[in-house]
Chain A
């Protein structure tokens, strides 16, 4: 119902914009100019579709963190990519999604300093051309040496 959303926005002085024809009007604007969006709230199915669309826009599920929040502060944070059994145990998996999910967890716990450090190190490492990410999207795998990435991140943290 739009009423709780509207009353929440008036309390917090947050701009609330309802896409009455959501999700169709939302998706083509999302594809053309995703920067116009900030926080999106929606029911289950639309969320499933739109969250994967947004993940595709930023580089895929290999770099997308997520969390499931419940009542009384109960929360589970997880990466949403596949299990990739063909590269399991080979030091090839991209740790970004799970690491950023862990950063979300730290923020949820109020440990913002630690979260900021790890997030900055992670972003710097991705930007770092020495650690090459060979990526294919959508159910495909990121190939990267986890060990070398971890070492680079560790150095960035310290």
Chain B
């Protein structure tokens, strides 16, 4: 009793309790996150067929969506698309709400990028961002891999970028308290940082990856990015077989263009993810080649990795269909239709080795339809599961 009353002992006791509580909380939090998930909800399935929401979007989206439908029909893939158009010129949110409801119903979607009209007032939110945040698609995953037949400065690149998709600089919280002075809030929360870090480490473990690198700017944003980094370190302690390191975002871009092979899995907040994943896409050959996936607890949406509308090349039959077609393969994997996914992916990769078929973004003169036809021919020659015309 007397010992506890002594102030020095009391201080020591408090410090000890605080330290053990912190460890306890960290342990519990990591466990909660691990159990909470990324449990993908089972997609809709009637009569052995899956219903998938298809949002064509703007620019090259509609023509690429058409090619996906054509290819799936050709391969007899048991997927029916529910097409939901979103008109990017309208200020009303009815279209995007319909799309969100369709995705809630079906659980999974394939999407083209929806143009964000910058001439509309600031209150008009990006439709793509609205979709991601409403459905809580918290992990944007992009796998940038050197492809055979595509000439790039660097070879043997195989990087998975995992970007937090729902907070950070994209929180759309801006205000102008004084005319000419705008404040923009970047939101970093412990819950979402732990969640994305856990997703990254689990993905690394599932895919047999060795290293996870957290990208940050904690030297400047010591509270915001500092919290993100701290959460990553906490989660890392639960995965001893995976090496964890961190890198400042500006150094990261420099390292990426000089020695990209050093990176394996990268996890980062929203804006850095945008920049870094686009750098990775550029390194492996451009936006026409890399698919992207957005995962949430209950829904998954697949699209091209760099999320471009490609407005300047729309309807000219010159867009590279690879990214969208590989995204549709990711979709098939998500639906556990691995056979169809492998068959289509193999055909795409064999087509891309033929430089005669390369589209303009790869320095060739091929057309979109020629590439898709070549993919179908490759599938035809590989055996059954195709419709004969």
Given contacts A138-B251, A139-B251, contact A60 B258 (CB under 8 A): yes
A39: interface (CB < 8 Å): no
Secondary structure of the A contact surface, majority rule: helix
Contacting pair B118 A20 (CB below 8 A): yes
Residues in A with CB closer than 8 Å to B217 are: 45, 48
Q: Kindly identify which residue among A31, A51, A55, A139 contacts B279, using a CB–CB cutoff of 8 Å.
A: A31
Scan B258-299; emit 1 where CB is below 8 A from any A CB, else 0.
Answer: 110000000000011011001101110011000000000000
Contact residues of A between 2 and 35, Cβ < 8 Å to B: 20-21, 23-25, 27-32
Residues in A with CB closer than 8 Å to B278 are: 23-25, 27-28
B243: interface (CB < 8 Å): no
Residues in B with CB closer than 8 Å to A138 are: 251, 254-255, 258-259
Q: Kindly identify which residue among A21, A32, A50, A137 contacts B286, using a CB–CB cutoff of 8 Å.
A: A32
A87: interface (CB < 8 Å): no
Given contacts A20-B118, A27-B279, A32-B286, contact A137 B255 (CB under 8 A): yes
Residues in A with CB closer than 8 Å to B256 are: 53, 56
Contacting pair B251 A52 (CB below 8 A): yes
Contacting pair A49 B249 (CB below 8 A): yes
A61: interface (CB < 8 Å): yes
Q: Kindly identify which residue among A32, A45, A51 contacts B282, using a CB–CB cutoff of 8 Å.
A: A32
B380: interface (CB < 8 Å): no
B97: interface (CB < 8 Å): no
Residues in A with CB closer than 8 Å to B271 are: 45
A109: interface (CB < 8 Å): no
Given contacts A23-B275, A25-B278, contact A56 B257 (CB under 8 A): yes
Q: Kindly identify which residue among A28, A49, A60, A61 contacts B306, using a CB–CB cutoff of 8 Å.
A: A28
Interface size class of B (residues with CB under 8 A): 20 to 34
A76: interface (CB < 8 Å): no
Contacting pair B254 A55 (CB below 8 A): yes
Residues in A with CB closer than 8 Å to B94 are: none
Q: Kindly identify which residue among A49, A57, A61 contacts B275, using a CB–CB cutoff of 8 Å.
A: A49
Q: How far is the CA of A32 from the CA of B307 in the complex (A)?
A: 17
Min C-beta distance of B272 to chain A, whole Å: 8
B250: interface (CB < 8 Å): yes
Q: Kindly identify which residue among B118, B254, B306 contacts A52, using a CB–CB cutoff of 8 Å.
A: B254
Residues in B with CB closer than 8 Å to A52 are: 250-251, 253-254
Residues in A with CB closer than 8 Å to B145 are: none
Q: How far is the CA of A28 from the CA of B279 in the complex (A)?
A: 5
B85: interface (CB < 8 Å): no
Scan A38-69; emit 1 where CB is below 8 A from any B CB, else 0.
Answer: 00000001001111110111001100000000
Residues in B with CB closer than 8 Å to A23 are: 274-275, 278
Contacting pair A51 B250 (CB below 8 A): yes
Q: How far is the CA of A28 from the CA of B371 in the complex (A)?
A: 23
Contact residues of A between 88 and 116, Cβ < 8 Å to B: none
- Output the nearest chain B residue to A26 by Cβ-Cβ distance: B278
Contacting pair B257 A57 (CB below 8 A): yes
Contacting pair A56 B282 (CB below 8 A): no
Q: How far is the CA of A57 from the CA of B281 in the complex (A)?
A: 16
Contacting pair A24 B274 (CB below 8 A): yes
Residues in A with CB closer than 8 Å to B281 are: 28
- Output the nearest chain A residue to B307 by Cβ-Cβ distance: A24
Q: How far is the CA of A64 from the CA of B256 in the complex (A)?
A: 17
Contacting pair B258 A53 (CB below 8 A): no
Q: Among the interface residues B259, B272, B275, B308, which one has the most CB atoms of the partner chain A within 10 A?
A: B275
Q: How far is the CA of A66 from the CA of B287 in the complex (A)?
A: 31
Contacting pair B275 A27 (CB below 8 A): yes
Residues in B with CB closer than 8 Å to A50 are: 253
Contact residues of A between 123 and 158, Cβ < 8 Å to B: 137-139
- Output the nearest chain A residue to B169 by Cβ-Cβ distance: A45
Query: What are 27 contact pairs spanning A and B, CB under 8 A?
Result: A20-B118, A21-B308, A23-B274, A23-B278, A24-B278, A24-B306, A27-B253, A27-B279, A28-B281, A28-B286, A28-B287, A31-B282, A49-B250, A50-B253, A52-B250, A52-B251, A52-B254, A53-B254, A53-B256, A53-B279, A55-B254, A56-B254, A56-B258, A57-B257, A138-B254, A138-B255, A138-B258
Enumerate chain B interface residues (CB-CB to A < 8 A).
Answer: 118, 217, 249-251, 253-259, 271-272, 274-275, 278-279, 281-283, 286-287, 306-308
Taking A28-B282, A28-B286 as given, write out 16 further A-B residue pairs in contact, using a Cβ cutoff of 8 Å, ordered by the A residue number: A20-B118, A21-B308, A24-B274, A24-B278, A24-B307, A27-B278, A28-B306, A31-B282, A45-B271, A49-B272, A51-B250, A52-B251, A53-B257, A56-B254, A56-B258, A61-B254
